[in-house]
Amino acid sequence: MEFAFNEEQRMIAETASAFFTENATSERTRAAMAKDGIDHDLWTTFCQELGLSGIGIPEEAGGAGLGLVEMAIIAEAAGAQVAALPMLGSLVMCARAIAYGGTEQQKGELLPELLSGERIAAYVHDAALSADGDVLTAADGFVAHGASADVFVVTSNSGAWIVDSKADGVSVIAKTTMDQTRPYAHVTLNGAKGAPLADAITAISHAHRAAFVAIAAEALGGAQACLDRTVSYSKERVQFGRQIGSFQAYKHRLADMMIEIEQARSAVYWAACAADEESDEAELAMHAAKAFATDTYFRCAGDMIQLHGGIGFTWEHDAHLFFKRARATQTALGNNNWHRAKIADMILGAAA
Amino acid sequence: MKLGFSAADELFRQECADWLNGQMEGEFKDIRGITSLTDMPERRKEWEQQLAAHKWSCIGWPAKWGGRDATLAQQVIFAEEYARAGVPGRVNHIGIELAGPTILAFGTEEQKARFLPDIAAGKTIFCQGFSEPGAGSDLASVRTKGHLEGPEGAQEWVVNGQKIWTSLAHISDWIFVITRTEEGTVGPKGLSFLMMPIDQPGIEIRGIPQINGDAEFNETFLTDARCPADSLIGQPGEGWKIAMGLLAFERGVSTLGQQMSFRNELDEIIEAAKANGTAHDPLIRQRIAKAEIGLRLMRYGALRMLSQTDHSRIDGAALTYKIQWASWRRGLGELAMDVLGQAGEVNDREAYGWDTLPNLFLYSRADTIYGGTNQIQRNLIAERGLGLPREPRG
């Protein structure tokens, strides 16, 4: 038992944090927001120069090995800058689904290009999907970065296919999205041909579990950034002749943010570690982390606006980037009441 | 980063569980499951001595003083198994977790030899004399006064004043106090840390009835109370430093054991909800899930805190731990009452007193006050954790 980063994990954290802080600047993110919500140069640099894109993907599938703890470290660092990247959909969900459930041919054809950033994948899920052989009819109104995708991993609750985004029968409509750093598209498959993964259940399970941890880690990074930025502001801003951070009403609100964030940190790394160690708690931990960390993020982002006063409500200030991302993380991948209901089922038995 | 325990640790866990369950099913069956700190004090002193006789009393201490030099993982495991087996809280937890470690850290060799073996053996029960009627959150404003009297070589400290909220003083043998020993000083300067025997004419203990009908806390009146000159820990005037060092011990391994008793409380709520049907209420289900999440996060926060080796950094998990568990437990008491409904507001006892869950509801109002109120915790977190300006002081 040693619930702290080891030397390698500390180095990954430093490298990732330095990379995103330097490169995922507000200016670049805003430029991406005005287009398709992806900073493509940043994505290419991240995938090809930093050497961290293969983390969490097994080495035999062409990844860098390591586990969800290391993946969470990277997601946390990216989340702290609200980086406009397809990391969650393309790497954490799609590449992982293919790596764990794809055929050898699918792995060989797709993974190198997904890990290098040359192609982007997006994850489409429709529980009501109908398949006639491998001809698919499905719709998902909220496909993250769907309009930028070259390829989709399409899943129902029991099947998984790869579908080319340009294939016949595929329609993709980009939606104006509140969080412009991860815009949604409405994807419809109307008799589109899919290539089935070899083991859909394993693919779906790996994609979802990793996604819960990654979105929680991203939320943790975002929440901590909201706190850090607000603390800095509270030391600069003077009213009534004092730094506003010296008022107890203000201090206590910041303290409450820290109390929540410390718990979110425990949640994220507990979930990542439990999954890597295949502990009995892993399932509960992932639901707990997703619900707790994303709720924490929203609370901190909301408080960031409140504690900045008028400037926090402007387009110019970055607070709204965090606030909108935070809101999106709460609803994405199953809302938090659903995640808590899963936990209630585990400890109370299924709902009547 | 690693959560699992080693095979050797798991064997140790089994050894702890076997011994503790054996005791709770055998000779000490009558105290199993007691949650109040004040029930059956005499039997519980015997339990302290039974723990000591089998070297389970203070496993983290050096073997020389009655411990086992246990590793951190072993201490965590013992604390967890202790509560899991339904063993009641330690009546000498202040001796084992606060007085002992303080003497180990700041005492002379002679003081260690004088106090530690009897604390380890469960023969000396300690209580803590910090708060005063005028010194609560502002602990450094203590007004109790102490001075040395008597001829060179046979000097005694003589102490006058009043302490309050002295938990378990009525069943304790010794009390440690911070007292002002330098005339004219204010605040943290000029305080000293003394160990005083309770059984003497100069010390009077009066119980304070609490909102749950229990009286775990006391007022302690010191009127020319005495102790030998060499009962001073550290140097005169170092009392504040020692008191603050001692408070840091409160965030140690014992928190893991405390969490297992929280586990038992939450399990009792879950059972009650299943029994009375509220387990089907979607809002209650959400709240139980939230309570479960909070409890798990407490455990992993504590493990982070215990795994932290770089003590030069501010440890966020440690700094936020008190307010986290206290607020969680207060919420748990409210959840318990919502699950029980009006059945939680009545019982068949003759005297005013409560079973575990209604008692939890009442008692947990103290959790967010003692050991630093939630308001003070927020000040500390903001000032030490976030570097915000300090509160103005009068």
A137 bridge partner residues: A130, A190
Instruction: Judge whether A291 is closer than 8 Å to chain B, CB to CB.
Output: yes
Lowest-confidence region among A168-172, B71-75, B99-103, B297-301: B71-75
Of A1, A340, A343, the CB nearest to B5: A1
pLDDT in tens, B164-211: 999 999 999 999 999 999 999 999 999 999 999 999 999 999 999 999
Look at residue B354 in the predicted model and tell me its pLDDT: 93
B1, A4: Cβ pair inside 8 Å?
yes
Q: Given an 8 Å threshold on Cβ–Cβ distance, is A267 in contact with B387?
A: no
Q: Is B375 on the interface with A (CB under 8 A)?
A: yes
Going by pLDDT thresholds of 50, 70 and 90, the confidence category of residue A352 is low
Closest Cα to residue B85, out of B290, B204, B257? B257
Q: Is any Cβ of chain A less than 8 angstroms from the Cβ of B164?
A: no
b/e B251-269 (16+ beta carbons within 10 angstroms → b): bbbbbbbbbbbbbebbebb
Of residues A167 and B152, more confidence is placed in A167
Is A234's CB within 8 Å of B388's CB?
yes
Mean pLDDT (whole number) for A106-114? 96
Q: Is the pLDDT of residue B316 over 90?
A: no
Give the confidence band of A51 by pLDDT, cuts at 50, 70, 90.
Answer: confident
- Tell me which chain B residues have a C-beta less than 8 angstroms from the C-beta of A270: 3, 296-297, 300
Strand A135-144 relative to strand A184-193, pairing: antiparallel
- Residues A145-187 have pLDDT tens digits of 999 999 999 999 999 999 999 999 999 999 999 999 999 999 9
A121 touches B at CB < 8 Å: no
Whether residue B37 has pLDDT greater than 80? no
In terms of pLDDT, which residue wins out, A97 or A60?
A97
**CB atoms B391 and A337 under 8 Å:** no
| CA-atom Rg of chain B in angstroms | 22
Among all residues of B, which ones are annotated catalytic?
250
Taking the complete model, does pTM exceed 0.90, yes or no?
yes
Residue in chain B nearest A259 by alpha carbon: B320
Which of A234, A255, A292 is closest, CB to CB, to B378?
A: A255
| Out of B294, B382, B391, closest to residue A255 by CB | B382
A342, closest residue in chain B (CA to CA): B289
The mean pLDDT of A95-108, rounded to a whole number, is 97
Nearest residue of chain A to residue B303 (CA atoms): A3
Q: Would an 8 Å CB–CB cutoff place B386 in contact with chain A?
A: yes
Contact B368, B324 (CB under 8 A): no
* The pLDDT of residue B259 is above 90: no
Shortest Cα distance, chain A CAs vs residue B383, angstroms: 8
Residue intervals of chain B classified under CATH 2.40.110.10 are: 126-236
Residues of A in contact with B272 (CB under 8 A): none
Q: Distance (Å) from the C-alpha of residue A214 to the closest C-alpha of chain B?
A: 17
Q: How far apart are CA B31 and CA B28, in angstroms?
A: 6
- Residue in B with minimal Cα distance to A73: B1
What residues pair up with A172 in beta bridges, in sequence order? Answer: A187
**Residue B309 pLDDT exceeds 70:** no
Cross-chain residue pair A1–B3, CB shorter than 8 Å: yes
Read off the pLDDT of each residue in B120-147 and give the average, rounded to a whole number.
Answer: 95
What is the bridge-based pairing of β-strands A184-193 and A170-174? antiparallel
The answer to whether B277 contacts chain A (CB < 8 Å) is: no
Q: Is residue B253 very low, low, confident or very high in pLDDT (cuts 50, 70, 90)?
A: low
Nearby residues of A320 by Cβ (< 8 Å), 6 or more positions away: A305, A313
- Looking at chain A, the whole-number percentage of residues with pLDDT higher than 70 is 100
CB contact under 8 A, A288 and B279: no
Instruction: Choose from B285, B300, B305, B377 for mutation: most chain A CBs within 10 A.
Output: B300
Listed in sequence order, the residues at least 6 apart from A20 whose beta carbon sits closer than 8 Å to its beta carbon are: A77, A78, A80, A81, A83
Residue B310 has pLDDT above 70, yes or no: no
Per-chain mean pLDDT for chain B: 92
Interface list for A 325-344 with B (CB within 8 A): 337, 340-341, 343-344
B257: pLDDT strictly greater than 80: no
Taking contacts as CB-CB distances below 8 angstroms, the residues of chain B near A285 are: 296
Nearest to B297 among A267, A281, A343 (CB): A267
Please tell me the predicted confidence (pLDDT) of residue B250: 58
- The yes or no reply on domain B251-385 and CATH 1.20.140.10 is yes
Residue A350 at interface with chain B, using a CB cutoff of 8 Å: no
Q: What is the mean pLDDT of residues A329-345?
A: 98
The answer to whether the CB atoms of A347 and B308 lie below 8 A apart is no
Residue B280: band (very low, low, confident or very high) from pLDDT cuts 50, 70, 90: very high
pLDDT of residue B35: 79
Which pLDDT band, with edges at 50, 70 and 90, does B249 fall under? Answer: low
Flag if B379 and A245 touch (Cβ within 8 Å).
no
- The more confidently predicted of residues B97 and B360 is B360
- Note whether A78 and A24 are within 8 A (CB): yes
| pLDDT surpassing 80 at residue B248 | no
Contact A4 B286 (CB under 8 A): no
Q: Which of A195-199, B215-219, B387-391 shows the highest mean pLDDT?
A: A195-199
> Does B389 contact chain A (CB < 8 Å)?
yes
Q: Which among A335, A294, A311 is positioned nearest to A142, based on CA atoms?
A: A335
Residues forming a β-bridge with B207: B218
Task: Please report residues of B whose CB lies closer than 8 A to that of A227.
Answer: 386
- For residues A86-115, average pLDDT: 97
Contacts with B256 from chain A: Cβ below 8 Å: none
Question: Looking at the predicted structure, is the pLDDT value of residue B284 above 80?
Answer: yes
Give the pLDDT confidence score for residue B136 in this predicted structure. 93
Mean pLDDT of B264-289: 97
pLDDT reading at B251 higher than 90 = no
Model confidence at A329, pLDDT cuts 50, 70, 90, reads: very high
Q: Where in chain B is the domain with CATH 1.20.140.10?
A: 251-385
> Which residue type does A352 have?
A
Q: How many angstroms separate the CA of residue A16 from the nearest CA in chain B?
A: 18
pLDDT band at B55 (very low <50, low <70, confident <90, very high): very high
State ipTM.
Answer: 0.96
- Residue of chain A whose Cα is closest to the Cα of B269: A348
Chain A residue numbers with beta carbons less than 8 Å from the beta carbon of B304 are 3-4, 265-266, 269
Distance, in Å, from the CA atom of B325 to the CA atom of B251, rounded to the nearest integer, reads 11
Lowest mean pLDDT among A233-247, B298-312, B324-338: B298-312
Q: pLDDT at residue B252 above 90?
A: no
Sheet of strand A184-193: strand arrangement:
A130-132, A135-144, A184-193, A170-174
* Angstroms from B203 CA to nearest CA on chain A: 40
Separation CA B236–CA B29 (nearest Å) = 46
Indicate if the pLDDT at residue A288 is higher than 90: yes
CA–CA gap between residue B142 and residue B181 (Å, rounded): 11
Contact at CB, B389 and A341, closer than 8 angstroms: no
In 10 A of CB B380, how many CB atoms?
A: 16
Do the chains contact at A2 and B2, CB–CB below 8 Å? yes
Distances (CA, A) of A79 to A72, A84, A181, A233, B200: 10, 9, 11, 20, 63
What is the mean predicted confidence (pLDDT) over A294-310? 98
Confidence band for A350, pLDDT divided at 50, 70 and 90: confident
Which of B22-31, B64-73, B290-299, B374-383 bottoms out in mean pLDDT, i.e. has the lowest? B64-73
CATH of B126-236, one of 1.10.260.40, 2.40.110.10, 1.10.10.10, 1.10.3260.10: 2.40.110.10
Instruction: Show the domains of chain A with their CATH numbers.
Output: 202-348 (1.20.140.10)
CB contact under 8 A, B3 and A279: yes
Structure-token pair, residue A242: 């004092």
- CB pairs < 8 Å spanning A and B: 160
Select the residue from A237, A287, A336, A347 to test the B interface by mutation, using most B Cβ atoms within 10 A: A347
- Residue with the bigger pLDDT between B315 and B55: it is B55
